[in-house]
Structure 1
Amino acid sequence: MGRKQKLRQEKRNIKNKAAAAAAPEVTAAAADATTFSTEDAIAAAVCKKAEALKKTTAAAEVAAAADAATVSTEDTIAEAACKKAEALEEQLPKSDTYVQGFTNNITTREQFEFFQRGATEDACIHSMFRMGQMLTDAHLALPWFLEGAIRGSSKCTMILMLECYSLFKVPYREIKPYALQDYWGKINTYYTGASFVDDMKCLRGCVEQECAICSKTDTKTLTLQQCKGCSVYCYCSEGCQTIHWKEHKHRNECKQVQILNKYHKPYAKEIRDAVIRGDKEIPSLEKLRYKLGLTRPTEEYQEFFKRTYNGKEIDPDDYLVAREDGTVWVGSTPSSPIGTS
């Protein structure tokens, strides 16, 4: 090897040694750069996640506030409705026997007797409401709430709608009186202006949009037909309507709704005004009571007081919806008009 070649080889060796010496530092620097890059990415991801959580939390807080506002609004409306109902009840006259029912140191039995006299002898709506509350069997309480409701008691209409005919109270039953609940919901709204009308629209919407039996809905080839009697339920066929009328007893409910629409709805204000005036004879009211079966002879339903029918024990809730002719299973005061005997 010549002298020049040796010099070139030495230069290459020096470069290689320098490169080898610098390699760890370069690798470390690269690693540090990668680490910094990773940390930056992680930090960015954390910040992004934090921002997302912040937005989610804010959205949740807004939603919670909206829900709280809705609940608060609903509570306020319900509270206002109750206050209005109470104010409307105060317009209705109170009999002396009703007032005596709150005498100190009397037994529950004595109190009930005062209310019973107030209801049957004085036609006191407040007494009717109290009687309904004190009767533990629903089928015996219903005629008294009904007596109060047809006379203009907003509290009695609310009991009919939210208790007696409540869909949520007896969800497992085949007999679900949507139409009766719908009727008294509208009457209650008429009296109080309460927001129950929205619930009724929801209820009516659910019922009107599907067949009452098979739940079929309107299609291009199928148009549901509405019940002509109550205008609440819908059917996809005559077969489903027959099942609903016979097996689900809608015939009974529908008939009573028709009676109420014909003999109560057009005269509701007239009857209430007459009650407030203290009129002893109200022809439209007595005709309605007769049509509903409230004036039936006691002998016809005496057995129900023992919680039996045709010798068999009954479930009171099964006798809240009307009989086939639309009349109630249990009457209130037979024959003579209440308050005139």
Structure 2
Amino acid sequence: MQPGKLPNELMAEIVFSNIRVKRDEVLVFPQVGMDCGVIDFGEDVCVLSTDPITGTSSDIGWLGVHIACNDVIAAGVEPLGLMLTIMAPPGTTESELYEIMSQADKASEELNVAIVGGHTEITPAVTRTVLSTTAIGKAKKSRVMNMLTVKSGDYIIMTKTAGLEGTAIIATEREDELKKHLDSELVERAKNMIKDISVLKEGEIAVRVGVNRMHDATEGGVLGALWEMADSSGLGIEVYGDKIPVAEETRAICDYLKINPLRLISSGCLLIATSEKKLLSEELKKEGIKATVVGRIVKKGRYIKSGTLKFPLEPPKSDELYKVITN
């Protein structure tokens, strides 16, 4: 199988089909496009999400915290706690582990989320350090359950630019090569895009304005995330392909490496389904957050429009990152 997330059809066939135990307290079970589980505690719910960092070996402590928390934030919930699992290969130094935990501590301070537990192990089962983070949040049941389903006619607002995380990872992992072929300042700017990876601010604004659904664009990129939003709702989607913003740095790096920025891992880019497109766009822009209408939910059909052209929106496959980053 190809590197990256398991394709959706295999998730259904292999993973979801083997999850048979159901409990009344569990309100949201695993499904495509739904990154969080939701457990009922009366008027409140506990929202949980877990994510590993596998596409890079740089800044994994900082990334792990933000990536996991982004999924909880996209559910309209403030993350409160974290569980970290670190699996490191033999030969890992104490200073390397210290750096990972220092990064995680810094990120948790930025988000005001507590590290409440985890597991740390040196094992020959991995050839490089893997960090997996579980984020935990708490919210009123009514708010969370009202933000689980998109509606036909909803507009999709995208924050920031496509391929944000992937651009930063590639610029860091292949810095020397890129600086031989591209402007050095551009590569440095690309590396610094990692600082925009949190969706906390836009998530808070979206909840305040009122939205129907949010989804963090991770592996599979913006197009993969848009497909997942439609698929999880059983509806169609019209994507405005020529409207999806791509930063100059992302475009230059993707052109050089011959990869598609719209299929590149895009953590930090939040997709928001709302009927309040004007108000939400204005509120986001007031806070200096780039906001672009990139599509609309329709009753049926999943397609991309670009100028006069119209073609099918394909389900996500292996992320473009794995074409250019070797583990």
Q: Is the TM-score greater than 0.5?
A: no
Larger RCO (CA under 8 A, 6+ residues apart): 2
More helix, by proportion: 1
For this structure pair, what is the TM-score category when the shorter chain's length is used for normalisation?
under 0.3
Higher-strand-fraction structure = 2
TM-score of the pair, normalised by structure 2: 0.28
